[in-house]
Amino acid sequence: MEKKQTKTYETKEIEEKVVLIGIDNEKDIMNINDSLDELEELVNTAGASVIGKMVQKREGIHKGHYFGKGKMEELKAYIDELGATGVVCDDELSPSQMRNMAKILDVKIMTRTLVILDIFAKRANSAEGKVQVELAQLKYKLTHLVGQGKQMSRLGGGIGTRGPGEKKLEVDRRNIADRISELNKELKTIEKHRQIIREKRLKNKQPIVAFVGYTNAGKSTLLNTATNADVLAMDKLFATLDTTTRKLKLSSGREYLFTDTVGFIQKLPHNLVKAFRATLEETKYADILVHVVDSSNKACQTQMEIVYKTLKDLDCLNKPIITAYNKIDKEDTIRPLPKDDFAMHIVEISAKQNIGIDKLFNTIEDVVKSFKTPLKILIPYEEAKYISIVHGRCEIILTENRDNGIFFEIYADEELENRLKKFILN
């Protein structure tokens, strides 16, 4: 639950009623209607309401003011008719486009990024999350809020004006750069701390399983069900901004670390992704990725494509991926489920109803068992049986005949590693 603002001296929130605008250029991964539906959810999550939508079919964005001239006039009339207080654009706008549009439309001009930043500001809990959000906001401000002063101050609160940075909104623009470098330093200290924790984990050799996926797919719900954690899960976009990790022993007796991560979304600007690098890095250190998919979402196939694109950008596509088609308890689950060429295994689950979780656990254990570790071994010549096992079942990097036996550098899975234990050289 959001805490109500009760202090009288804080900016009074005005209810924003906005019109969403987007361009249908048939080039984006997600079709424009799904994209605007998603933007509507984002706007609702940020606390404003959508009272209209307008789409223009055109090759690209108009350089001066996003929509073409005629369509802008149509939009102006539409806004006046509805009494909208703002416009939220599905794409990024340059400061001059924002200025031109504000001049023509005479309402507040916002973008998808601004809305996402606003949600991030509401959600950030940890020190790291807050620093990351403030950094992202300041960077955005530095490049975008030039010349927006009049509109912003005229309309008071609402989207784009709240956040951990709120106290600092009065910070002189000249100081923004200083603040950015200060925050970067803070982030470095936090990252160092994270690195120490990571090293400890590596020593413990507990496999790390990260739940990744599109926002609202059910990652936090799965972490809660799987590990009895108490992570905020709700039907809002970007419920999770901070990573949570829980330890759990599975039936083999091995301990695993399960990590919840921030959700992905389409059209997330590159600098925003960069701002959340530290959080997303958790994904980089995972041994296995469980790709949680909301299989009841009509755009789920597109969402999956976007997840894989993001994983590729993060250099994580080479990790073993288990796709967990979630929410199969829902009637509107898409059948047949989309194909998934990136997944090593596919399971169907309901994180909420605790269906298929054991199957998911077993699959995770199977994948871990198949992991191959590099080993150096020396097998005496008289142990012919073991020599033929190595030749038959291991990936051999190097062989050397030595006085006391054959030296091998190999990759072996867990079972073979156990069988060859007595020959392993330290």
Ligand X SMILES: Nc1nc2c(ncn2[C@@H]2O[C@H](COP(=O)(O)OP(=O)(O)OP(=O)(O)O)[C@@H](O)[C@H]2O)c(=O)[nH]1
User: Given the rule CB under 5 A, which residues bind Mg ion?
Assistant: 219-220, 239-240
Residue 267 near ligand X by CB under 6 A: no
The residue count for the chain? 426
Residues 197-226, mask of contacts with ligand X (x by CB under 6 A): ----------------x-xxxxxxx-----
Q: Tell me the backbone φ, ψ of residue 401, rounded to 5 degrees.
A: -80, 120
Q: Which two tokens stand for residue 420?
A: 């060859």
Strand blocks (E) in 220-362: 244-249, 255-260, 288-294, 321-326, 345-348
Q: Using CB atoms within 10 Å of the CB of residue 340, give its burial: 0 to 12 exposed, 13 to 18 middle, 19+ buried.
A: middle
Q: Looking up tokens 């509401």, which residue turns up?
A: 122
Residue 310 near ligand X by CB under 6 A: no
Residue 235 near ligand X by CB under 6 A: yes
Contact stretch for ligand X (CB under 6 A) within 112-120, 235-243, 367-375, 378-386: 235-243
Q: Measured at CB, which residue is nearest to ligand X?
A: 263
CB of 32 to ligand X, least distance (A): 22
Q: Are strands 255-260 and 208-213 parallel, antiparallel or unpaired?
A: parallel
Partner in contact with 35, chosen from ligand X, Mg ion, none, beta carbon below 5 to 8 Å by kind: none
Q: Are strands 395-402 and 405-412 parallel, antiparallel or unpaired?
A: antiparallel
Q: Which two tokens stand for residue 110?
A: 């916002």
Partner in contact with 100, chosen from Mg ion, ligand X, none, beta carbon below 5 to 8 Å by kind: none
Residue 351 near ligand X by CB under 6 A: yes
- Number of residues located near ligand X, criterion CB under 6 A: 24
Cα–Cα distance, 129 to 122 (Å, whole number): 11
CA atoms within 13 A on the CB side of 301: 10
Residue 237 near ligand X by CB under 6 A: yes
CB of 358 to ligand X, least distance (A): 15
In contact, 395 and 371? CB cutoff 8 Å: no
Q: What end-to-end distance do the CA atoms of the chain give, in Å?
A: 55
- For ligand X, give the closer residue by CB, 331 or 403: 331
- For ligand X, give the closer residue by CB, 222 or 420: 222
Partner in contact with 351, chosen from ligand X, Mg ion, none, beta carbon below 5 to 8 Å by kind: ligand X
Residue 172 near ligand X by CB under 6 A: no
Residues near ligand X, by CB under 6 A = 213, 215-221, 233-235, 237-240, 263, 326-327, 329-330, 350-353
